[in-house]
Amino acid sequence: MPKTIKVIVLINLAVFLAWFFSMSHFTLLKFMVDNFLVSWQALLEGRFWVLVTSVFSHNSFFHFLINMYVLVGFGSVLLRFMRPITFMNFYLTAGIVGSFAHAFLSLTVMNAPEIPALGASGAIAGIILLFSLLFPNEKLLLLGLIPVRAIWGAVIVVGVDIWGLIAQSKGGGFNIGHGAHLGGALMGLVWYVYYRIKIKKLNYPS
């Protein structure tokens, strides 16, 4: 496992364990709720750091396991083509934009600024989309079972998140941070476009 990814996993593990131990310590639980959940209400209260801390925050083992599994798999490939500092910048940017997207869309689409979110899903969505755009013909297993080309897998995942967000706006849907996923995916697209422009400039100097 690349060192950069190992650091991210260890930070996530530490925060997960903090959530675990906080269940029996009210003071610690309040600290975690105030500092590791992102919402529009939290931003209004001036706790802007939750845009970052929530990206490393999981209080469900399954949520933690899935996100870290995807991070190790896809992130390790991207690190073969990106410097560690570049990868970390991308990861944080996708995560922060995902956190803000959740908060903003909760306010504007669901009219519920108090809805909290946590998890690396925004950053992970960015990684998946960037991978799929860079390697569109690679095979992915959708739901762990169905083989599809990476680019079509990304399109399906983004489509599901758009559908989920629309359903949530009507009072339905699942308890999933679709807004965070879409914000992170957007940054995956932005970084891909940036790399394409950068490569073109290197190949065709003025």
Q: Between residues 21 and 174, which one has the greater pLDDT?
A: 21
| Contacts for 123 with CB less than 8 Å, ≥ 6 apart | 55, 71, 91, 92, 94, 95, 98, 184
What's the domain range around 153? 3-203
How large a percentage of the chain has pLDDT more than 70? 94
Total domain count, the chain = 1
pLDDT for residue 206 = 41
Structure tokens at 96: 């922060």
CATH of residue 119's domain is: 1.20.1540.10
Q: Which two tokens stand for residue 37?
A: 């959940």
In the prediction, which pLDDT does 119 show? Answer: 92
Mean pLDDT of 117-129: 94
Q: According to the model, what pLDDT value does residue 30 have? A: 92
Burial environment of residue 88 by CB neighbours within 10 A (0 to 12, 13 to 18, 19 or more): middle
Strand partners of residue 64:
none
pLDDT tens-digit readout, 127-180: 999 999 998 888 776 656 778 888 888 888 889 888 988 888 777 777 788 889
What angle, 0 to 180 degrees and rounded to 10, lies between the N-to-C axes of helices 61-78 and 84-108? 130
Residues near 69 by Cβ (< 8 Å), separated by ≥ 6? none
Per-residue pLDDT tens digits for 68-107: 999 998 999 999 888 999 999 999 999 999 999 999 999 9
How far apart (Å, rounded) are the C-alpha atoms in residues 138 and 149? 6
147 pairs with which residues across the strands? 141
What is the per-residue pLDDT for 200?
60
Please say if the pLDDT value at position 44 is more than 80: yes
- Give the per-residue pLDDT at 144: 62
pTM: 0.89
**Averaged pLDDT score across all residues of the chain:** 88
